[in-house]
Each structure stands twice: as structure tokens, then as C-alpha cells.
Amino acid sequence: MPMSESFKSRLFPAVEEIAAHFGTPFHLYDEAGIRATGEELKKAFAGIEGYREYYAVKALPNRRILQLMKEMGFGFDCSSIPELILARELGATAEDIMFTSNNTSDEEFAFAAADGGCILNLDDITLIDKVPAPFPDLICFRYNPGPRRTGNLIIGNPVEAKYGISHEQVVEAYRRAQKRGARRFGLHTMVASNERDYTYMVETARMVLSLAETVEDALGIRFEFVNIGGGFGIPYKPEDHGLDLPAMSAEIGALFAAFRAKHGYAPKMYMESGRFMTGPHGVLVTRAINHKDIYRKYVGVDACMSALMRPALYGSYHHIDVIGKEQSPKTEVYDVVGSLCENNDKFAVQRELPKVDEGDLLVIHDTGAHGHAMGFQYNGRLRPMELLLRTDGSVEMIRRAETVEDYFATYNFSPDRFTPAQS
């Protein structure tokens, strides 16, 4: 199921009032739901010593949300300078931060090393020599298994994915890192996205543990941690089953226990879920402002793809409820559209819905990850505000809507005109 019954029961009765107070459109996130999922994860993996979630900041890079993650004891998975700043602002430092960049620049390496540093997760063997001295004590590599694993639609086939070092490079990568002075080691991979088959994640854990063994045999390295990445899936469609977290954690726990029995120690397990942590706990609330009836029937709403790119980018399904008509028969078939001059600016295509009237509120489910975060300003369409439904029932604005001033802010610079000598 998409949005939980609990979230619905707290939001739907109040949503008209919230919309009247703040205006529409807005993303709204559910603090209780996010906390519950965080606790569920911790409980599921409590049997693995040193388990830690590093929340993938890119999924929902809002300070207030990241504060919740911090309160739950999570670290942060960052891949850009602004994401590092966000994490550090909250007091995260050193091993609270995994820096999993790719195609990394000198500026990024310098920033990652500053302010107490972070866990550097290198995406390629050629980057080892580009890490500024002093080389960090603790180093990690991102592993791409290539043809050893099949991927999925969102992340792509590992063979075609730009990420990570190849299987053949692994031992050499750690050897070179050792030569540059690394003494502590981690191993990272991320091979799936929105994967709801828990056995895939179990295979990922098996894969990294087995690779850790290979590297240990070759170089005598003991891995401090393995990081199985993000990619835990959520059900977007009503008929989708969720990830079987208890079964997954039991099987992964058994793999770590077996490793410990064989080697007398086991690495810690890290993961970096974004979608699983916040995806189902966010919605986009938007009002129907127009309708048209041409070759198809359209409902025009006051949000557009600047607030939610996933349908346009991946053809993703996001469930929609029409407030006050949750139980009404779905007698109509609509495309639910925004106002951008792009024909893929659609939240739903040929969707069965109850009859929508202008003024109706639509709740678009599962926008808590890769929603607002992926927004943009194309066509002068600005990103909406973000709200947090607190556990006490109050609603807090946690980011205002973008304004026309924000749109023009990048024209604020000192004039600079240069004539190259070669002209």
C-alpha cells in the first residue's frame, strides 16, 4: 500500500484547514511515520553489531528532516558540497558522514577533508592519487559488480552504470590505498534502486562479505565496515507488496553471524536508505484549478513537475486521492497535469479517479523521497513549500516556497566582461 492508514487518518481530516492556512501546493511530511520507520530499521538490524543507517541526504535534503535523522542516531550519506554543509550544520562530523561522490572534483576532495573530514568513499581507482595529502586513515571504495548482478530500471544494469570500481580492480585499489597510508577500510556497493525483493538485498550483503574475504586473503586487510547502500523499495501502487524487512534482516544477520563464526570478527554493517526512510511519509497536496475535455480528459492542478519529477523521469506511478471523495466510485479517466510547457508534465496518465471538480484537493502519495529534492525552475515554474506534520498534530513550515526573487537571484553578481586575447 502507498501512504499508511495512520498517516491518512491524521492528515485527511485536517488537510483542507492546512491548505487554507498555508495555501497550495505543498509537500507535507509525517514526523511520526519517519520516526516509526527509523525505529523499525534499528530494531530489524539490532542483531548486527555496529549497524548504522546513513540517511541518503539527496532523497530529502531538508534541514528539519535531517535533524530527525540525527536525533535517531543516523549518519548522513552525502555526495556534494552543499550536502556536506547540510550534514555538518547539524553537527555531523568525521565518521557520521559517508562521502559517496562520483566523478569527484579537487574542490570536493578538499571540502570533504575539511572540518573534521568524513568517510571518503572512492568511486574509482584513478581517484586514489587525487585525494589530497594527508591520505585519510579510513578509506572506502564503491564496488560495481558488473555482469555478476542484474540491476533494475531506475539504477540501470551494473555493466552500464557509471559507478564504482570493477571487480578486477578491487584488490589493486586497496593495495594502492594502503600504499598511500590508509590503515582502516570499508567496502561499499549500491546495485539496486527501489528494490522490493528482499532477497536481492540479502545477495548484496553476501556479495560484499565475500568480497571482503577476498581482499582480506590477498592483502591481510580487516574490513571495519561494509555498506550495502540504499535502494530498499517501497510500494507505490496499491497492489504492490512492501519489502519484507524482518525476513531480510534475519537472513542478513545470519550472514554476518556466519562471517563472525568463521573469522572471529565481522565488519559493521552500514546502509544508506533514502526512499525507504522517507518516501511513504511525504505527500504533495495540490488543488485542481482547471479541467479540459479534448481527446482525453485533463485535470489541471496548481503544482507541476517542478515539484515532482519522478513520473516524467521514470514513468513512475504515484497514487492519488481526491479529498472528500476517497470512497467515491472511480467513474472518470484523467491525465492529471501541471502547467509546464512539456507534455510529460503529468502526475498521472489515464488514471481512474472519482469526478474531480475545480477546487478539489488532490493528495499525491509517496513524495517523501526524490520529490521536492529533484525539483527545478525550468519554464519559470518554482518549487513549492515543505511542511512537517508534527507528532503533536501541529504543522510546521520547514521550507518556504520559492519566489520570483529566488528565480532572479542569480542575476545578482558583479559585472564581469572579458575579452580573450585570441578574439
Ligand X SMILES: *Cc1c(COP(=O)(O)O)cnc(C)c1O
The single residue of 78, 140, 304, 341 carrying the catalytic annotation is: 341
Quote the cell numbers at residue 42: 534499528
Respond yes or no: is residue 341 known to be catalytic. Answer: yes
Question: Under the criterion CB under 6 A, does residue 273 sit at the interface with ligand X?
Answer: yes
CA dihedral of residues 204, 207, 208, 211 (deg, nearest 10):
-170
**186 touching ligand X, by CB under 6 A:** no
Say which DSSP state 402 is in.
P
Which DSSP letter does residue 285 get?
Answer: E
User: Cβ 187 to ligand X, closest distance in Å?
Assistant: 13
DSSP letters spanning 28-52: EEEHHHHHHHHHHHHHHTTTSTT-E
The residue among 2 and 300 lying less far from ligand X, judged by its C-beta, is 2
Minimum CB–partner distance for residue 20 and ligand X (Å): 33
Residue among 275, 281, 319, 372 that touches ligand X (CB under 6 A): 275
230 vs 267, which CB is nearer to ligand X? 230
By CB under 6 A, tell whether 77 contacts ligand X: yes
- Smallest gap from Cβ 188 to ligand X, in A, equals 8
DSSP per-residue codes, 323-358? TT-TTS---EEEEEE-SSSSTT-EEEEEEEESPP-T
Q: Which of 8, 27, 58, 318 binds ligand X (CB under 6 A)?
A: 58
Q: Which is nearer to ligand X, 59 or 140 (CB)?
A: 59
Among 2, 38, 274, 368, binds ligand X (CB under 6 A): 274
Is 122 a binding residue for ligand X by CB under 6 A? The answer is: no
Cβ proximity to ligand X: between 73 and 181 the closer is 73
Is 100 one of the binding residues for ligand X (CB under 6 A)? yes
Binding status of residue 158 toward ligand X by CB under 6 A: no
The length of the chain is 423
Nearer to ligand X by C-beta: 48 or 155? Answer: 155
DSSP string, 93-148: -EEEEEE--SS--HHHHHHHHSTT-EEEEES-GGGGGGSPSSPPSEEEEEE--GGG
Handedness of CA 234, 120, 51, 73 (dihedral sign): negative
**By CB under 6 A, residue 95 contacts ligand X:** no
Give the burial class of 418: count Cβ atoms within 10 A of its Cβ; 0-12 exposed, 13-18 middle, 19 or more buried: exposed
Residue 282 makes contact with ligand X by CB under 6 A: no
Closest CA to 363 of 330, 322, 332: 322
Indicate which single residue of 11, 48, 56, 356 sits in contact with ligand X (rule: CB under 6 A).
56
Q: How far is the CB of 88 from ligand X (least distance, A)?
A: 18
Measured torsion, CA atoms of residues 31, 33, 305, 274, in degrees rounded to the nearest 10: 100
What span, in angstroms and rounded, lies between the C-alpha atoms of 181 and 178? Answer: 5
Nearest to 397 by CA among 414, 380, 385: 385
Q: Is 242 exposed, middle or buried (0-12, 13-18, 19+ CB in 10 A)?
A: middle
CB of 276 to ligand X, least distance (A): 6
Binding mask 359-398 for ligand X (x = CB under 6 A): ----------x-----------------------------
Kindly state the number of chain residues that form the binding site for ligand X, as judged by CB under 6 A.
Answer: 18
Which CB, 233 or 338, lies closer to ligand X? 233
59 binds ligand X (CB under 6 A): yes
Provide the mask over 197-236, with x wherever binding to ligand X is found by CB under 6 A and - wherever it is not: --------------------------------xxxx----
- Decide whether 62 or 286 has the Cβ nearer to ligand X: 62
Helix/strand/coil for 245: helix
- Which residues are marked as active site? 341
Residues that bind ligand X (CB under 6 A): 56, 58-59, 77, 100, 190, 193-194, 229-232, 272-276, 369
